[in-house]
Amino acid sequence: MNLAYRDVRHNVGRFLLASVGLSLLMAVVLSMMGIYNGIVVDALAIVRAPQADVWVVESGTRGPFAEASRIPGDTREAIARLSGVTFAGSVTYQTVESEYRGGKIRLFVIGYELGRPGGPSEIVAGRAIGRSHYELVADRRSGLKLGDRIRLGRNVFNVVGHIENQVNSAGDPVVYITLLDAQKLQFELAPPAARIQVARGAVPEGLDTVNAVIARVLPTVKPSSVAEAARRWKHLAAMTQSEQENILTSSVVDKVRRQIGLFMGLLLVVSAVIIALIIYQMTMEKLKQIATLKLIGAPDRTIIGLIVQQALALGMIGWALGYVLVTNIKDYFPRRVVLEPENAFVLAAIIFVVCLLSSGLGVRAALRVDPATALGS
Amino acid sequence: MSAVSTPERLVSLRNISKHFGEGTTRVDALRDVSLDVTPGQVVALLGPSGSGKTTLLNVIGCILEPSKGRMCLEGEKVYDNRWLRSDLRRLRLDKIGFIFQFHNLLPFLDATDNIAIVLELAGLGSKEANARAVELLEYLEVANRRAALPAKLSGGEAQRVAIARALANRPRIILADEPTAALDSARAGIVMDLLRKLASEQEAAIIAVTHDEKIFDRFDRIYELRDGRLDSGSDRPN
């Protein structure tokens, strides 16, 4: 006879209420895990979109995502001529804030050369950029509709296509424009500032500057050897795709990861305390019944089983409800929430251990009950 | 006088003493208590509050360790200035049935399961335990309430289920703590008649703590405790 099950069945409403309360905590923990995954996935999506093997950036920097990087636009030709390189393309990256439908909108603008690596990998609606100027392809999360017009800098762009699931590590949706437009947007001075520079006698800077050059190499060629070759130019730094991804995950999103990790840790501690309190309270209410069980000869393992099984059931039901809740609401979060099955299993394992430890308080109280308390009133 | 370990005496206590505290705070709850209860005998323990009745019941029930003395239960020497068995819960499960003032049924188990749990703890399978539980409920004439939770039972019904639980493992020693205190006089009489019947049919010894004068005539022998001392007892009043 399973006493834990019988007791839960007898107080099913109360038990479920406690489980629902716990499930909300579990949902928050799972959301945190999902948000962290989402940040990493989003950050990597930008890096992986151009399907590059090698990133060439300004010497002494780890650009273009972790640090600012500016290199001459003709670097692309030099890189393209390296042995083993099949394609090369120049790219720029910058964040822009603009007016859209009476409000502010933040966009992560990627400039690329038409017909070269660096552009959007898949258009889900509309078409790719077909003209050299004033067209853009936007991530759906930007809210921009096909045919919309939006001002970026001093120029107005037409939205011609949509992409999906591309935002930067800050959550700003990506838009693609041509490299020429992006260079103007990033490097061209505003007319008054340009006039002042001319008045001062400064030589106007050329616009042919880019943030990075990306290269694809032959399958038989090691990207590291191409990166090594690119590093021979003293004004350039180069890294492979995996090195670029490492920079993003270990540097750019590292603080976010640690912050979320600490927050998750705190939530787990809070969950442990709450589980312990619930189990302790449930045990204290049953002390006379436990005394009676001891008096009629129930061994300690029966009493421990009663408490531990209820603690585990509470934790697992709370976890399951929390998981169902998060999977149903995750698409309503402003940032992407990516919930991997292994996250749910890891949390289940943690909750299992937490429940075991938390039930210790209740077990201790139960084992100290004097069976004599069952006698008398 | 030595502790008798023959089955003729189901409960045999010799010079059992129990004190709490030491020095100026010392309280002698039991002083040299000797008691014999034979099969089929129903005895009452009387005494004012604080006289040591519950302490004596706890000692016989192997819940409380005496300070000194000797005790035999069903012919087995269980205490001789120290416990002679380490598995006192198993001893209680096998040899002793408890009936409480307030039935103390587990509220989350129905009447049948409240009895079956004791049998399962003793090692019986679920089916056999249920069959025996129903048999006991029929014997105590509450089988029609077999599926009812304790909260749905009347006081008399609940106490009958509690008695059935006490009898589940066929113990030959039944300890009852104010078994009729929560019942009206008519039901108290019925419960006591039932206990007498059980003692007689199952050759069991029943020791009950009571204050209920209306049921004194149901006991074979009445002992009175005063300041921890047990008198020599008197036969059933006529």
**Which CA distances in Å does A228 have to A51, A60, A301?**
19, 14, 66
Chain A: closest CA distance from residue B98 (Å): 7
* Residue indicated by tokens 């999902």: A34
- Residues of chain A positioned with their CB less than 8 A from the CB of B92: 295-297
Residue-wise pLDDT tens digits, B24-51? 888 889 999 999 999 999 999 998 888 8
Report yes or no: A286 at the B interface, CB cutoff 8 Å: no
Residue-wise pLDDT tens digits, A117-145? 899 888 999 999 998 889 999 999 899 99
Report yes or no: A13 at the B interface, CB cutoff 8 Å: no
**Which two structure tokens, joined as six digits, stand for B14?**
């010799």
* Residue B152 counted as domain residue: yes
* Residue B6 counted as domain residue: no
Report pLDDT for A238: 93
- For B25, counting Cβ atoms within 10 Å of its Cβ (0-12 exposed, 13-18 middle, 19+ buried), the class is exposed
Please state, as a whole number, how many other Cβ atoms lie within 10 Å of the Cβ of residue A70.
16
Q: How far apart are CA B43 and CA B97, in angstroms?
A: 15
Q: How far apart are CA A247 and CA B63, in angstroms?
A: 68
Mean pLDDT of all residues belonging to chain A: 88
Report pLDDT for B236: 65
**Which two structure tokens, joined as six digits, stand for B75?**
């012919």
Contacts of B108 (CB under 8 A, 6+ apart): A3, A6, A7, A9, A10, A11, B149
Interface of A with B in 314-333 (CB under 8 A): none
Q: How far apart are CA B24 and CA A200, in angstroms?
A: 104
- For residues B77 and A372, which has the higher predicted lDDT (pLDDT)? B77
Nearest Cα neighbor of B37 from B206, B237, B214 is B206
Contact criterion met (CB < 8 Å) for A302 and B121: yes
Query: Is the predicted pLDDT of residue B70 greater than 70, yes or no?
Result: yes
* Residue B62 counted as domain residue: yes
CA dihedral (A30, A33, A38, A43) in degrees, to 10, reads: 180
Query: Is the predicted pLDDT of residue A111 greater than 90, yes or no?
Result: yes
Nearest Cα neighbor of A329 from A31, A33, A39 is A31
Residue-wise pLDDT tens digits, B4-20? 444 588 999 999 999 99
What is the three-class DSSP state of A83?
A: coil
DSSP 8-state secondary structure symbol assigned to residue B82? S
- For residues A144 and B234, which has the higher predicted lDDT (pLDDT)? A144
Query: Is the predicted pLDDT of residue A358 greater than 90, yes or no?
Result: no
Report pLDDT for A373: 80
Mean pLDDT of all residues belonging to chain B: 86
* Residue indicated by tokens 């640090």: A67
Residue-wise pLDDT tens digits, B157-209? 888 898 888 888 888 899 988 888 767 777 778 878 888 888 888 888 999 98
What whole-number percentage of chain A has pLDDT above 70?
A: 98
Mean pLDDT within A286-303: 88
What is the three-class DSSP state of A253?
A: coil
Report pLDDT for B52: 87
Q: Do residues B110 and B148 make contact, with C-beta atoms less than 8 angstroms apart?
A: yes
Report pLDDT for A161: 95
- For residues B48 and B2, which has the higher predicted lDDT (pLDDT)? B48
* Residue B4 counted as domain residue: no
Please state, as a whole number, how many other Cβ atoms lie within 10 Å of the Cβ of residue B94.
17
Between A84-88, A244-248, B27-31, B181-185, the lowest mean confidence (pLDDT) is in B181-185
Nearest Cα neighbor of B43 from B209, B227, B186 is B209
Q: How far apart are CA B102 and CA B162, in angstroms?
A: 9
Q: Do residues A190 and A73 make contact, with C-beta atoms less than 8 angstroms apart?
A: no
* Residue B1 counted as domain residue: no
- Residues of chain B positioned with their CB less than 8 A from the CB of A374: 98, 100, 104
Query: Is the predicted pLDDT of residue A110 greater than 70, yes or no?
Result: yes
Residue-wise pLDDT tens digits, A155-178? 899 999 999 888 887 889 999 999
pLDDT band with cut points at 50, 70 and 90 for residue B72? very high
What whole-number percentage of chain A has pLDDT above 90?
A: 37
Q: How far apart are CA B124 and CA B128, in angstroms?
A: 6
Q: Do residues B11 and B75 make contact, with C-beta atoms less than 8 angstroms apart?
A: no
HSE-up of A22 (CA within 13 Å, CB side)?
32
Q: What are phi and psi of A339, to 5 degrees?
A: -105, 110
Q: Of A295, A302, A377, which is closest to B102 when you measure between CB atoms?
A: A377
Nearest Cα neighbor of A3 from B120, B135, B146 is B120
The CATH number that applies at residue B50 is 3.40.50.300
- Residues of chain B positioned with their CB less than 8 A from the CB of A370: 63
Contacts of A56 (CB under 8 A, 6+ apart): A71, A75, A79, A212, A213, A214, A215, A227, A230, A236, A237, A238
Mean pLDDT within A35-56: 87
Q: What are phi and psi of A95, to 5 degrees?
A: -100, 135
Chain A: closest CA distance from residue B127 (Å): 11
pLDDT band with cut points at 50, 70 and 90 for residue A204? low
Please state, as a whole number, how many other Cβ atoms lie within 10 Å of the Cβ of residue A99.
10
Query: Is the predicted pLDDT of residue A248 greater than 80, yes or no?
Result: yes
Range of the domain at B179: 11-235
- For residues B98 and A216, which has the higher predicted lDDT (pLDDT)? A216
> What is the domain count for chain B?
1
Report pLDDT for A86: 94
Q: Do residues A237 and A243 make contact, with C-beta atoms less than 8 angstroms apart?
A: no
Report pLDDT for B140: 79
Q: How far apart are CA B62 and CA B3, in angstroms?
A: 17
Q: How far apart are CA A256 and CA A173, in angstroms?
A: 19
Q: Do residues B153 and B54 make contact, with C-beta atoms less than 8 angstroms apart?
A: no
Report pLDDT for A150: 93
Query: Is the predicted pLDDT of residue A299 greater than 70, yes or no?
Result: yes
Amino acid identity, residue B106? Answer: L
Query: Is the predicted pLDDT of residue A183 greater than 70, yes or no?
Result: yes
Contact criterion met (CB < 8 Å) for A296 and B107: no
* Residue B5 counted as domain residue: no
Chain B: closest CA distance from residue A362 (Å): 18
